[in-house]
């Protein structure tokens, strides 16, 4: 039978799945010879078994017993031994870090006897009594389910009775009385006594930590972070060390470099005479880690040395938790640290410079999502006056929203579409829903490693914490600045997470350096000129372009978009929609075309549209000179170009009511709108269907393209137009349209004396097209997957209807982890893509394939399109850098799928 328990000395970092991240890294540090209090890890297997059956897994008790005995032998003390007790911490730790989401119970092993032993060996009665009451409190709430407020109230009462300002004002005998009170409360609320038997305490604490995997806040966090619900948590059982034994003790957290910017240096917080919990909760204000050098130079030097060791060993930024017990340094935790997008790029470049990683690994460590974040604007510093307050720049970016003071209010207002800033004294895991809902988080207490800071960074939310000049009054829903300004709920705030400042009102925004770098052409020079993190971004982009196999094109309908896309690195246009070209002034011409009762009238209207369309295409072809431009024939139903039915009906009716005659044009339009009304326009007369039933429409558009090509050639250009037919179901549709396209191309060639040849291809955006791709490929030189419509028609979802109506319920229920409109549904829609690529290529070797849905700019989808072997992705101009970067990362991740391989290992 596989083991459920591993000693720290037995594991390693590669076992995070089994031992959880914390356990695997504790084992790794033990293996490295770093000072880790000894202990062992109960595996996630055991957790899953327990959660599945509700019963303690068979053999677990004995295994824990054996490992406990070995631990006791190693330290020479027994758990809860009355005269000199070994005490244990019981800590959660899942595969993926979920900071503060699950439970930890400290000081296991204390009871009425051993508390006296601890008092003697520590030389501090007060410390022992305090530890005991902390155990009763944590155990009582976490393990036995008593509401934590019950203990808090008792503590508050005790402080009031003794006239104590805080916990430190209570002496040993007060705390002993409090412990008695806690025990009474536990009995009162559970009908059960607190277990005095240390082994029983340990057993129950382990099972409680298992259960904490399923708390509401842990579930919310996992949903948000896309962490599967079935992983379970490991439990780490570890000898306690004490940071609260006096001035020569303390606890801290640190990063091996700045997690906000990536700059090297000493970053962290230290709290003298405290246990680690006190640092993370931000209850007392910690001192900067650099202070430790003054307080305890040997420990400080040792800590820095360990941080260097860790960074070299992990070859990455690490964050750590440590405790100093009477001058002895202990490592309690490390992991590869979360960081901002800016820091991710900066660190990737820096570690490559330091020779710790190669360029490919550096590329693997940055992400398109992070890049997208860096392209967002920041506050225009020139326009900014004195801030309301300054705090710690915990998570960069600029956010504007209305102030709210509770998580619930943030959720309520955000659901109504308002942008909010969550203002708290400090956050706790209970504030998570509000943090998710908010644009930014502002706290008056806590450092760079406080809950607010860590969680906001992980989410990419703007955060300023520790703005301690603010007096936040959540009950009154307002805060007061040092200058006496009162800001009430609902007031507009601008939070600058980059500078660590909060301003009244909405501050104007300025471009980010990364955006400037792309706008200036994305060259090394542009990166240098843009400054900031742009150079590190350039290094990653450069590498990505060097290794990617996927081409990247843009969805662009105007010369401006085409030019921007080109600056951003697009290698052509994958989707040029023509419908926008039918709006504005030209709407009247389209109306005329629709209302024409004979071919002659229709031809006149089309003839008027022709030169306008030609001009559009010529300008776009000029902007993309030398690169392919895929022009899609008109796609939406024609009635979309007509006025709103209600407006028309009202106009006609009110003219009639006034006894006059309605405008005959209005009457005609109303009749047309009624005639063309569709119950289900998405599935109605649109796409290729339109081209087949409206005579002259395809011919006009193709002529406009062909004449634009001629015009560009005459001007010395290199136009590369491609013609794309939308919404094809069957090859017959494509055959007919294609014949017309070729007829017009031949006509224009003859008239102009210039041979115009455009590849003709089709969108694959209906399941039937995907399933008959082999036949369709006979008529198509290229396929472009329209994954928006393909997702709608595969799932039977009308996007506009379903997203608002029930997607959040579907996400809550876990029916999908992410909307299939955001990230391609690999198993369903992806399978159709795979079939179409495979059968299309079999029928026509060299068939070009691309994607032009919004998925073309979504990182996870880009990886899928790489694996399935498409030639290119096409996305909106602003997503081009993201697609380039992710295409490079996908190439490094490797893995092309063989025929019929339907699995997706990445999920």
Contact 275, 324 (CB under 8 A): no
> Shortest CA distance to 618 belongs to which of 700, 714, 747, 541?
714
Closest to ligand ADP by CB, 231 or 509: 231
**Distance, CA of 42 to CA of 107 (rounded, Å):** 18
Contact 110, 87 (CB under 8 A): yes
When asked if residue 250 is in the footprint of ligand ADP (CB under 6 A), the reply is: no
When asked if residue 336 is in the footprint of ligand ADP (CB under 6 A), the reply is: no
**Distance, CA of 849 to CA of 830 (rounded, Å):** 14
The one of Mg ion, ligand ADP, none whose footprint includes residue 877, by CB under 5 to 8 A per kind, is: none
Please classify residue 494 by burial: count the beta carbons closer than 10 Å to its beta carbon, then call 0-12 exposed, 13-18 middle and 19+ buried. Answer: buried
When asked if residue 691 is in the footprint of Mg ion (CB under 5 A), the reply is: no
When asked if residue 333 is in the footprint of Mg ion (CB under 5 A), the reply is: yes
- The region of 99-107, 302-310, 349-357, 681-689 touching ligand ADP under the rule CB under 6 A is 99-107
Q: Which of 21, 532, 574, 786 binds Mg ion (CB under 5 A)?
A: 786
When asked if residue 425 is in the footprint of ligand ADP (CB under 6 A), the reply is: no
Q: Which of 426, 789, 825, 838 binds Mg ion (CB under 5 A)?
A: 789
When asked if residue 446 is in the footprint of ligand ADP (CB under 6 A), the reply is: no
When asked if residue 37 is in the footprint of ligand ADP (CB under 6 A), the reply is: yes
At residue 373, the 3 state secondary structure works out as helix
Q: Determine which one of 47, 132, 318, 451 is catalytic.
A: 451
The one of ligand ADP, Mg ion, none whose footprint includes residue 252, by CB under 5 to 8 A per kind, is: none
CB of 333 to Mg ion, least distance (A): 5
CB of 87 to ligand ADP, least distance (A): 8
Active site residue 318: no
In order of 595, 600, 686, 709, the CA distances from 612 in angstroms are 20, 19, 22, 14
**Distance, CA of 288 to CA of 302 (rounded, Å):** 17
> Shortest CA distance to 342 belongs to which of 380, 381, 266, 397?
397
Q: Which of 323, 439, 512, 794 binds ligand ADP (CB under 6 A)?
A: 323
CB of 277 to ligand ADP, least distance (A): 5
Active site residue 576: no
When asked if residue 334 is in the footprint of ligand ADP (CB under 6 A), the reply is: no
At residue 191, the 3 state secondary structure works out as coil
When asked if residue 498 is in the footprint of Mg ion (CB under 5 A), the reply is: no
> Shortest CA distance to 261 belongs to which of 322, 335, 349?
349
Q: Which tokens hold the place of 84?
A: 């000199």
Contact 638, 629 (CB under 8 A): no
Contact 507, 430 (CB under 8 A): no
Q: What is the 3-state secondary structure (H, E, C) of 576-588?
A: ECCHHHHCHHHHH
Q: Determine which one of 852, 855, 863, 875 is catalytic.
A: 852
CB of 554 to ligand ADP, least distance (A): 44
Closest to ligand ADP by CB, 96 or 810: 96
> Shortest CA distance to 43 belongs to which of 239, 238, 236, 332?
236
CB of 285 to ligand ADP, least distance (A): 17
- The region of 115-123, 196-204, 333-341, 799-807 touching Mg ion under the rule CB under 5 A is 333-341
Rounded to a whole number of angstroms, the CA Rg of the chain reads 33
Residue 880, CB half-sphere, CA atoms under 13 Å: how many? 29
Q: Which residue is nearest to ligand ADP (CB)?
A: 276
Q: What angle do CA 767, 773, 778 make, to 5 degrees?
A: 145
The one of ligand ADP, Mg ion, none whose footprint includes residue 111, by CB under 5 to 8 A per kind, is: none
Q: Which of 258, 616, 733, 765 binds Mg ion (CB under 5 A)?
A: 765
Q: Which of 30, 41, 81, 104 binds ligand ADP (CB under 6 A)?
A: 104
Contact 204, 212 (CB under 8 A): no
When asked if residue 238 is in the footprint of ligand ADP (CB under 6 A), the reply is: yes
Q: Which of 77, 78, 91, 844 binds ligand ADP (CB under 6 A)?
A: 91
- The region of 75-83, 152-160, 236-244, 864-872 touching ligand ADP under the rule CB under 6 A is 236-244
Q: Is the dihedral of CA 608, 609, 612, 618 positive or negative?
A: negative
The one of Mg ion, ligand ADP, none whose footprint includes residue 100, by CB under 5 to 8 A per kind, is: ligand ADP
The one of ligand ADP, Mg ion, none whose footprint includes residue 238, by CB under 5 to 8 A per kind, is: ligand ADP
Q: What is the 3-state secondary structure (H, E, C) of 805-873?
A: HHHHHHHHCCCCCCCCCCCCCCCCHHHHHHHHHHHHHHHCCCCEEEECCHHHHCHHHHHHHHHCCCCEE
Q: Please give the positions annotated as active site.
A: 451, 852
Residue numbers of the site for ligand ADP (CB under 6 A)?
A: 37, 89, 91-92, 99-100, 104, 106, 238-241, 251, 275-277, 280, 321, 323, 332-333
């Amino acid at each position: 039978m596989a083991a459920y328990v591993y000693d720290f000395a037995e594991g390693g970092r590669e076992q995070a799945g089994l031992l959880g991240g914390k356990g695997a890294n504790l084992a790794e540090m033990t293996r490295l010879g770093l000072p880790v209090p000894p202990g062992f890890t109960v595996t996630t297997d055991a957790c899953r078994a327990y959660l599945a059956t509700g019963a303690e897994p068979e053999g677990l008790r004995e295994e824990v017993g054996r490992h406990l005995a070995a631990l006791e032998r190693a330290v020479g003390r027994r758990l809860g031994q009355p005269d000199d007790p070994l005490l244990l911490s019981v800590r959660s730790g899942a595969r993926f870090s979920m900071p503060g989401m699950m439970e930890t119970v400290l000081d296991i092993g204390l009871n009425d006897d051993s508390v006296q032993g601890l008092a003697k060996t520590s030389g501090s009665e007060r410390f022992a009594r305090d530890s005991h009451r902390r155990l009763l409190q944590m155990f009582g709430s976490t393990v036995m389910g008593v509401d934590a407020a019950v203990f808090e109230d008792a503590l508050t009462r005790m402080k009031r009775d003794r006239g104590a300002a805080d916990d430190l004002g209570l002496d040993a005998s007060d705390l002993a009385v409090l412990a008695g009170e806690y025990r009474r409360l536990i009995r009162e609320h559970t009908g059960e006594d607190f277990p005095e038997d240390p082994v029983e305490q340990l057993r129950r604490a382990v099972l409680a930590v298992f259960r904490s995997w399923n708390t509401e806040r842990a579930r919310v966090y996992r949903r948000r972070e896309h962490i599967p619900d079935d992983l379970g948590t490991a439990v780490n059982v570890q000898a306690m060390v004490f940071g609260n034994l006096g001035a020569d003790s303390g606890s801290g957290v640190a990063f091996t470099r700045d997690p906000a910017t990536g700059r090297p240096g000493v970053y962290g917080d230290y709290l003298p005479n405290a246990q680690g919990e006190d640092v993370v909760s931000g209850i007392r204000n910690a001192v900067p880690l650099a202070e430790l050098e003054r307080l305890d130079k040997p420990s400080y030097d040792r800590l820095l040395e360990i941080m260097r060791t860790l960074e070299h060993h992990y070859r990455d930024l690490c964050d750590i938790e440590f405790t100093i017990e009477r001058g002895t340094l202990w490592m309690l935790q490390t992991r590869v640290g979360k960081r901002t997008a800016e820091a991710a790029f900066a660190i990737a470049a820096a570690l490559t410079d330091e020779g710790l990683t190669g360029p490919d690994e550096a590329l693997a460590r940055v992400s398109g999502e992070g890049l997208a974040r860096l392209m967002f604007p920041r506050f225009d510093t020139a326009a900014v006056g004195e801030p309301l307050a300054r705090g710690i720049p915990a998570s960069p970016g600029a956010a504007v929203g209305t102030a709210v003071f509770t998580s619930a209010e943030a959720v309520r207002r955000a659901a109504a579409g308002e942008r909010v800033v969550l203002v708290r004294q400090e956050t706790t895991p209970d504030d998570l829903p509000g943090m998710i809902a908010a644009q930014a988080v502002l706290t008056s207490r806590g450092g760079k490693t406080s809950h607010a800071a860590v969680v906001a960074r992980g989410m990419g939310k703007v955060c300023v914490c520790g703005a301690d000049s603010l007096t936040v009054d959540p009950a009154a829903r307002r805060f007061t600045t040092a200058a006496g300004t009162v800001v009430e709920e609902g007031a507009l705030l601008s939070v600058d997470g980059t500078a660590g400042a909060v301003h009244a009102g909405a501050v104007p925004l300025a471009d980010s350096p990364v955006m400037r770098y792309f706008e200036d052409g994305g060259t090394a020079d542009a990166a240098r000129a843009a400054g900031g993190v742009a150079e590190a971004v350039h290094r990653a982009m450069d590498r990505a372009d060097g290794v990617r196999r996927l081409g990247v094109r843009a969805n662009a309908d105007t010369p401006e978009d085409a030019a921007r896309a080109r600056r951003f690195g697009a290698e052509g246009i994958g989707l040029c929609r023509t419908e926008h070209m039918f709006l504005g002034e030209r709407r009247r011409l389209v109306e005329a075309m629709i209302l024409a009762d004979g071919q002659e009238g229709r031809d006149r209207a089309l003839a008027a549209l022709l030169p306008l369309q030609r001009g559009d295409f010529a300008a776009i072809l000029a902007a993309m000179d030398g690169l392919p431009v895929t022009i899609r024939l008109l796609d939406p139903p024609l009635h979309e170009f007509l006025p709103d039915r209600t407006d028309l009906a009202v106009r006609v009716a009110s003219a009639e009511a006034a006894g006059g005659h309605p405008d005959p044009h209005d009457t005609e339009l109303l009749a047309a709108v009624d005639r063309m009304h569709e119950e289900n326009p998405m599935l109605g007369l649109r796409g290729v269907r339109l081209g087949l039933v409206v005579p002259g429409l395809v011919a006009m558009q193709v002529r406009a393209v062909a004449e634009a090509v001629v015009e560009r050639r005459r001007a010395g250009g290199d136009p590369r137009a491609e013609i794309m037919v939308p919404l094809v179901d069957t090859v017959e549709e494509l055959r007919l349209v294609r014949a017309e396209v070729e007829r017009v191309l031949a006509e224009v060639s003859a008239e102009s004396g210039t041979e115009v040849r455009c590849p003709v291809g089709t969108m694959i955006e209906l399941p039937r097209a995907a399933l008959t791709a082999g036949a369709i490929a006979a008529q198509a030189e290229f396929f472009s997957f329209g994954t928006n419509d393909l997702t709608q028609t595969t799932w039977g979802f009308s996007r506009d209807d379903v997203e608002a109506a029930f997607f959040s319920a579907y996400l809550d229920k876990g029916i999908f982890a992410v909307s299939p409109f955001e990230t391609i549904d690999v198993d369903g829609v992806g399978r159709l893509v795979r079939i179409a690529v495979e059968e299309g290529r079999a029928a026509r070797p060299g068939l070009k394939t691309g994607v032009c849905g919004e998925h073309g700019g979504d990182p996870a989808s880009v990886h899928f399109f790489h694996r399935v072997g498409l030639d290119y992705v096409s996305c909106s101009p602003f997503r081009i850098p993201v697609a380039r970067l992710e295409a490079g990362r996908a190439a490094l991740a490797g893995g092309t799928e063989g025929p019929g391989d339907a699995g997706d290992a990445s999920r």
